[in-house]
Structures are given as C-alpha cells and as structure tokens.
Structure 1
C-alpha cells in the first residue's frame, strides 16, 4: 500500500489553526486555542504532521531526552481521513525517532487495544496530575474511564501499602 500523504516534521511548515482543528475534532482539545496548540507543538522535541497537499489531517508529538525517556501526546486524525493508516504512520514515526528508549503514552480508554498492537503495556504505577483541569473536565475524564477510583489498590497491593 502506498501512503499518499506527506509526512511533515517541521512546525514552520504547518497552519496551526488546522492543527488545532484536528485536535478539537478528535476531542483532544476543549477549544481551538491556536496559540496554546502552537506553543505545545513548538515546545515538543518531536512533531509529526500528516498533510493532504496543504491541509493538516493528522498530528502527533513527543517529549524526550533522546537517551532513556520519552512520552507521546496528541495523536489525532481528522475523522474524514481515518482508516487510511494515518494514525499508524504518526505512531510508527514517533516510535522510530525514539527507538531504544522507554516511552510512556497517555491516551483515551477507548484506544487501549490500538496501542497494545505497537507493544505498549498498561502500567500499574502511573499517576496523572491535572493542575489545569476544571472540575467539569476532571469529571468528564472520570466518567470516560481515564482514572481508577481514588485510593484504588490492585489486589496484589492490598495490605502492602
């Protein structure tokens, strides 16, 4: 299968309104704040943008020290382009650029099986702190299944901690 879209890694060659729109349409941004989107991507160590001619149709980014640790964020594909290996291309490009290091990934509970296909495993020891979250957004995240119940312990932990 030939990939018919362009893989862009240079943030100077994308329209950040389009990037914000992709994130918003995928539910990864509560609004289309272009300045915040641009700042987060420009401050990232690795960026991947998939373009259909001049239109951004998929995005992803990573933070890394390029030695031992990395983290993937904001993998999103425009709904009209899903099912065309765009998400796969974003993920594999990010993984290749961070080859040989530990990588964490924060994702929506509905995409867990997708990332297992790439070798990601769920962790029992990860924590998340959302200092910028509103009570409404944090409630939405709890309702969607992002969090385990407060003070939750796996059976193997009970009585140990």
Structure 2
C-alpha cells in the first residue's frame, strides 16, 4: 500500500536514493550530499510517497503558500512509474498551496507527461544556470 505524507525531515540519503532510482538523478547534484542536504533544508514543502516505508516518490517545493509554488523536484522510482504516483504528488502539492500557482520546469524525459495530466505550458521562462552567467551592470 502506498502512503503519502508531508515530511519535514527527509534524510538526504533517502532523497538521493529516489533521485537515482528515477530519471531525475541525472540532473541533480547526487554526488554532493551537503548540497542535497541544503536543498532539503530550504525546500519548505516536501511530500513523499512510500511503499511499506520505502521512499518511492517525492515532490520537493519552495512556496509562499499563497501566490506561487515552485515544484523543484518531482521524482518517482522507475519501478513505480505509470501508476499515478507523480500525478498524486502534484495534486497533493497543489492542495497544500491551493491559492498559489504551481510552477515547474520539466525534465527533458518528462516534457510530454505534464500536458497529459492537465498542466499548461508557459513559453516565457528564463534562467541563469551558474555564476559565470550573472549579468553585470
């Protein structure tokens, strides 16, 4: 039986494990446990999916709970994908932040997934990836 809950103290090792068992580990600093720990400490809404206490999915967000929620990490163990777990994690995130707009950047392998579950695409997204790209005045 899969259970879902908000977790305030998710262990970095568990998070790294599920990232590696999903496609998201390819794009996260899984070889930098201190950085992962900071990601968990500063994410203020973490919803997990567990199968008999084993972490199989996680939605890690940064939110003000009223205007915007940035769903930074949505990871589901490959062995559990296509069972609605990711969709449920997104739904629970939205329910916790019902007044806020839910925003995420799709991983390349998940681009086709989000429209299928009813999310709208926004073409106006910009980012700075590292400190060398900071615009100087």
RCO greater where, 1 or 2, for CA within 8 Å and sep 6 or more?
2
Is the 2:65–2:97 contact (alpha carbons within 8 Å) kept by the matching residues of 1?
Answer: yes
CA distance in 1, matches of 2:14, 2:131: 24
Higher strand share: 2
Q: How far is 1:30 from its partner?
A: 4.4
**Counterpart of 1:7 in 2: which secondary structure?**
strand
CA distance in 1, matches of 2:82, 2:118: 20
Aligned length: 129
**Counterpart of 1:74 in 2: which secondary structure?**
strand
Q: How far is 1:67 from its partner?
A: 1.9
**Counterpart of 1:11 in 2: which secondary structure?**
coil
Where has structure 1 moved over 4 Å in runs of 4 or more? Answer: none
Q: How far is 1:103 from its partner?
A: 2.3
Change (3 A) 1:54 1:33: farther
Which position in structure 1 is the counterpart of 2:94? 95
CA distance in 1, matches of 2:51, 2:32: 23
**Counterpart of 1:124 in 2: which secondary structure?**
coil
Structure possessing the higher radius of gyration over alpha carbons: 1
More divergent stretch after superposition (120-129 vs 26-35) = 26-35
Is the 1:20–1:33 contact (alpha carbons within 8 Å) kept by the matching residues of 2?
Answer: no
Task: List aligned pairs for 1:1-161, cutoff 5 A.
Answer: 4-12=1-9, 14-25=10-21, 26=23, 27-131=26-130
Q: Which consecutive residues of structure 1, in runs of 5 or more, have no partner in the other structure?
A: 134-161
